[in-house]
Amino acid sequence: MWLLPTLVLYLPHLNKTGLHSGKSKLNKNMSDENQNIDTIDLSNPELYINRETSLIEFNRRVLEHARDDKNPILERLRYLCISSGNLDEFFEIRVAGLKQQESLGVSSIGPDKKTPHEVLNVIRKNCIDVINEQYDILNSCLLPELEKEQIRFIPRDQWNDGQKEYLHKFFVDSLEPILSPLGIDPAHPFPRIQNKSLCFILSLNGKDAFGRNSGKAVIQAPISLPDVIKLPADQDDNGEHDYVFMSSIIHCFADELFHGMKVDGMYQFRVTRDSDLILAEDEMDDLVRAMEGQLLSRRYGDVVRLEIDAECPNDILNYLLKTLKLEETDVYLIHGPVNLSRFMSIVEMEARSELLYPPYTPRKSGKLGGNADIFKVLSKQDVMLHHPYDSFSPVIDFIRQAARDPNVLAIKQTLYRTGPNSAVVDALVEAATALKEVIVIIEIRARFDEADNIELANRLQQAGAQVVYGVVGFKTHVKMAMVVRREGKHFKRYVHLGTGNYHARTALTYVDYGLFSSDKELGEDVHHVFLQLTSLGKLSKLNKLIQSPFNMQKVMVEKINREAANAEKGLPAKIIVKLNALIEAQVIQALYRASMAGVEVKLIIRGICRLRPGIKGVSENIEVRSVVGRYLEHSRVLYFHNNNKPEVFCSSADWMERNFYDRVEICFPILSKKIADMLTCHLDAYLRDNTQSWILQPDGNYRRDVVTGEDAFTVQNAFMNPDACNKN
């Protein structure tokens, strides 16, 4: 899910999230500055922001990018679509899970101690606000601005004769042959609607060909045709950017599908289903076959949300609720086109440069670019790439050169998300075809990429690569590649370790780091992790890597505690952490203790954050910010001051329970002082950003940090400048 941090120009009051205000009894209880740390109950539920409300706030920041008129209009439209897609996945996964927990009678979840029922009630209130905000932005901001650029969506009651004739021909030639309107009666029960497919429910008047009067029918819009149709311009090129929704065409000519009957009412609706795949891994013989079976069922999981035209009459709405086995609280009334994600096709069809962000070409690595001998370069020094500012091509070249180098004997790599047409996979196929030893660990349980990953696995196996599907019960989320090369009488390992996926397309929009190294101990560690994933043998003690699910959480807490101990001794102490999510309670408690000891804690958290900063006596030394910009902040970077001997790490893992305990992850040290200094500079730049940063308040809301004029500093713009920080 492409999630960005949120930009709310209005901040909802805390009672919207069902939590106490920032001046709650918690603050009063913690106000005694001399209170002993050991006497404060850090498990107090009021110290924790609810995970789901934090995720909704995260999506509000995405949505406010659509409102922000400093962004180009097509980019604003893109953010609206992203917010809609984010909300879809939120219901498919998070709300679906909460409903299951509620049905099982789970009493409370998470350190905030909210019950599933309480959280679902809060979610509904917040999601109604978000949806209303989406349609307000669409109708009052985006559509008028698009019209100024001659991009118009023509409603069916405004089609002229020529347009209506053209669209009727389209209906007859392209739509009617594939539409399957379903009249509803005892022999034709309500159809099984696919997840997130756009549908219509119709109220019919008159008798059908068999003399029956069922009164209702359902039409599902075809998923094989585009959501938006471009109208032809007239002879003077007027209307060159006029569009209609395919749903409008179906609506206009629906009468022709029911000969002898009249359509009295027709209303768009869409259902969202539980899409989380649950595999009983201890009971299966073949993970791939089981996953393929689950993928088929994803389209028809339990319904968790009904979106429907707000003008739908109550009798039809109640019929749908009864048929779909939903409650009124599962219904979201829509004042506009159902499914805003349909507008994404306009961004792609228009693609006018003046309406988008200025084009940016990732810079070629000075050391690994061109025809550089990558292994020769890496034998002398480590190299760090910073995507999307640095090109992803050296990562592909790393595998490609290994495939063609007669001295390379083996290539090992993990793949989590790569995309259906992957240059990395092409290079691995080339290596396997060249009879290299190619071993690939593919995590086919990467949510919503399962089908692509199965296809890639089949392709690699056909080329002769050995494919392993990770470890039963643990997702393989680590991002690493290793090349084993013969150099003289010895073997040398070259590794690439990343914070993001081996996905060339997302490397253009996701901010991530990738480290190349030939360090001997780092190579040995990566070798041992690969052995563990393929042979399932016990792992020997690692030299430099920190690994989940074994010791990462423990080591992170130890490093936080060390900073606290240094602060208590009067030594300098500081922590800077950049992550996508901060959820795990024990780590949060360690950060609270560090703050209480006087450690300066700066957290750059893109999305969900359960930690509540700014609580007097507990977290007043903690600042949490979420940076929002053109690119999706995805990198994980950790800085511990360590009494003037700084330690800097990058990681594939966020600080979440699943990353610490249920996934295979690595956290790797930055051994080159030059690279460590560069990353420290980057972290400082994030803390200086005063145009795209949102500061988390004690009540769980975010306040935008907005500075204009000469003092304005935008971190992502700075990184587009190659001299922003010294390169490695």
Tokens at 703, concatenated: 């306040």
What is 128-160 written as a DSSP string? Answer: HHHHHHHHHHIIIIIHHHHHHTT-EE--GGG--
SS3 letters for 315-358? Answer: HHHHHHHHHHCCCHHHEEEECCCCCHHHHHHHHHHHCCHHHCCC
What is 264-289 written as a DSSP string? Answer: EEEEEEEEEE-------GGG-S-HHH
Helices (H), 518-621: 520-535, 552-568, 585-597
Marked catalytic residue, from 477, 503, 634, 641: 477
Task: Answer positive or negative: Cα dihedral of 580, 683, 677, 644.
Answer: negative
Between helices 393-404 and 423-433, what is the axis angle to 10°?
Answer: 10
Picking from 410, 167, 454, the residue whose alpha carbon sits closest to that of residue 292 is: 454
CA distance 272 to 623: 37
State the Cα torsion 35-39-41-47 to the nearest 10°. 10
What own/partner pairs with CB < 8 Å and gap ≥ 24 does 587-590 have?
A: 587/553, 587/556, 587/557, 587/560, 587/655, 588/47, 588/48, 588/111, 589/42, 589/43, 590/556, 590/557, 590/560, 590/561, 590/564
Residues 128, 334 contacting (CB under 8 angstroms): no
- Identify the residue whose tokens are 């698009």: 146
Picking from 490, 421, 190, the residue whose alpha carbon sits closest to that of residue 325 is: 190
Residues 6 or more apart from 340 whose CB is under 8 A from it?
80, 81, 83, 84, 134, 138
Beta strands at 437-442 and 647-651: parallel, antiparallel or unpaired: unpaired
Residues 637, 682 contacting (CB under 8 angstroms): yes
Residues 403, 425 contacting (CB under 8 angstroms): no
Centroid of chain to Cα 209? 49
Cis peptide before 177 (omega within 30 of 0): no
- Identify the residue whose tokens are 């070259």: 494
CA distance 73 to 366: 35
335 has catalytic annotation: no
Picking from 49, 59, 61, 63, the residue whose alpha carbon sits closest to that of residue 18 is: 49
Helices (H), 383-479: 393-404, 423-433, 450-463
478-to-382, 446, 475, 547, 550 alpha-carbon distances in Å:
20, 12, 9, 9, 13
Beta strands at 383-387 and 480-487: parallel, antiparallel or unpaired: unpaired
φ and ψ at 596, to 5 degrees?
A: -65, -25
Cis peptide before 549 (omega within 30 of 0): yes
Start-to-end Cα distance in the chain: 32
CA distance 51 to 55: 6
- Beta bridge mates, 648: 639
What is 673-694 written as a DSSP string? Answer: HHHHHHHHHHHHHHHH--SSEE
Which positions are catalytic? 477
